[in-house]
Amino acid sequence: MSLEPLNRYALGQKLTQLASADPLTFVQDGAGLDHSGARRVALTGAPGAGKSSLLAQLVGLRSQTGNRLGILAIDPSSPKNGGAILGDRIRMDDLEENDNIYIRSLGSRTAGDGLADNLYEMMNTMDEHHFDEVFVETVGVGQVGYGARELVDTVVLVVIPESGDMVQAMKSGISEMADIIVVNKADLPGARKMLNDINHIASVNPSCSDDNSWVTPVMLVSNKSPDYVAELSRNIDAHQAFIAGQQTGRARKVARARYRLQQVVDQQLAKLISQTSDEFFAAPLNRQVSTILAQLHDFQTIQTGDTS
C-alpha cells in the first residue's frame, strides 16, 4: 500500500503531455531499471469481446485489498484524422468513486499494434506514482500483439463464443502469446464448446509438454456471475508468482527497455525512408543503407543540439 496520496492532477497532466511527445525529447535515464514497479496485466481481444466490462469487475474485486490500481484503456484513433471516441470508461462507472483507482483513456494514435504511442513511458510514469498494479486494455485486435507481450507481465486474451476467431487464434498461436485465455459471455450459448475447442488446440501446443513452462489456463467468464472473476483473479496471481520465479524484475525491465529502443529506432528509420526521393534508389542497396544510417546520426545530432 502506498503512503503518499495519489496526485491525480499531476498524473493526468503528465500523461496528456506524454501522449503527444516526441520520444527523442525524453530524457529519462536508466535509473528506473532498479526500482520495483507495478504488476502489469493486459486484456486483449476482439472489439466488443467485453474487455472493459470484465476489467471493471476484475479491478473492483482486486481493489478490496486497498492497493492502488491503474487502468490504461486504449481505443482506436482514426487513421484519417487522428480523432477518437474514448468510451471504455463508460463500462467502469462503479470504479469512479474509489480514490485508489485511476482510469485513463488513451487513443492509439500512430501505434498499429493495439497499444498507444509512448505507452512505455506512460507505464513508467504509473510506476513513479506508486501503483501496485496497472491494467491495460488494448484496442480490439484479433491477435495478441508483440508490444503487449513485451510491456506487461500477464496477458489475458478475451474471446467470445461463436466469434469465429478460432482460426485466427490458431494462426497466432494463442497459447504462446496469452498467459490466460478467457471465454467471455459464458451466459451465451456455445461458450462451453468454445472452451473445449481452445483446450484441444492448446493441448497440441509444444509449450504444454515442457514441465518448466506456464500452462495457459482456459476458463469461462461472464459479467452475470462474480465467481468467474474471482477465479480469473486467482489465475492472474498464480501467473504473477510464476514469472517472479522465472525472471528478476530488473531483467524484465531491461527486456522492455530493449524493446522500446528497437521501436523508437524503427520509427525514426521509417520516417527517414519515407522522405527519400525516387532517385535515391538508383544507388546500390549497401549505399542506400549507409546513407540512411548517416542521416539517422545527423538527425539525432540536430534533435539533441549536440555539436560535439
Partner 1 sequence: MNMNTSENVLKGTRILVGKPGLDGHDIGAKIIALALRNAGAEVIYTGLRRSPEQIARVAVDEGVNAIGLSILSGSHKELVPDVMERLRAAGLGGVAVFVGGTIPLEDQPYLKEVGVTDIFTADMPLADVVSSIARTLA
Ligand X SMILES: Nc1nc2c(ncn2[C@@H]2O[C@H](COP(=O)(O)OP(=O)(O)OP(=O)(O)O)[C@@H](O)[C@H]2O)c(=O)[nH]1
Binding-site ranges for ligand X (CB under 6 A): 47-53, 88, 91, 140, 184-185, 187-188, 222-224
Options 25, 64, 81, 308; binder of partner 1; rule CB under 8 A: 81
Reduced 3-state DSSP string for 106-167 = EECCCCCCCCCCCHHHHHHHHHHCCCCEEEEECCCCCCCCHHHHHHCCEEEEEECCCCCCHH
Burial class (CB in 10 A: 0-12, 13-18, 19+), 168: middle
DSSP β-ladder status, 39-45 and 154-159: parallel
Is 84 a residue that touches partner 1 (CB under 8 A)? yes
- Given Mg ion, ligand X, partner 1, none, residue 44, with its beta carbon under 5 to 8 Å by kind, binds none
Closest to ligand X by CB, 228 vs 260, is 228
Instruction: Choose one: 102-110, 130-138, 214-222, 257-265; the region binding partner 1 (CB under 8 A).
Output: 102-110
Is 47 a residue that touches partner 1 (CB under 8 A)? no
**Least distance in Å: CB of 62 to ligand X?**
17
Closest to partner 1 by CB, 89 vs 260, is 89
Name the packing angle between helices 249-274 and 119-128 (round to 10°). 150
Q: What does residue 80 show for φ and ψ, rounded to 5 degrees?
A: -80, -50
Closest C-alpha to 46, from 150, 184, 231: 184
DSSP 49: S
Closest to ligand X by CB, 223 vs 233, is 223
Options 54, 88, 100, 144; binder of Mg ion; rule CB under 5 A: 88
**Least distance in Å: CB of 114 to partner 1?**
17
Q: How far apart are CA 157 and CA 292, in angstroms?
A: 39
Is 103 a residue that touches partner 1 (CB under 8 A)? yes
Torsion of CA 94, 98, 100, 106, to 10 degrees: 50
Options 29, 34, 93, 227; binder of partner 1; rule CB under 8 A: 93
**Least distance in Å: CB of 223 to ligand X?**
4
Q: What does residue 100 show for φ and ψ, rounded to 5 degrees?
A: -95, 0
Closest to partner 1 by CB, 92 vs 169, is 92
What is the binding site for Mg ion (CB under 5 A)?
Answer: 51-52, 88
What is the binding site for partner 1 (CB under 8 A)?
Answer: 8-9, 11-17, 19-20, 77-78, 81-87, 89-90, 93, 96-97, 102-105, 107, 109
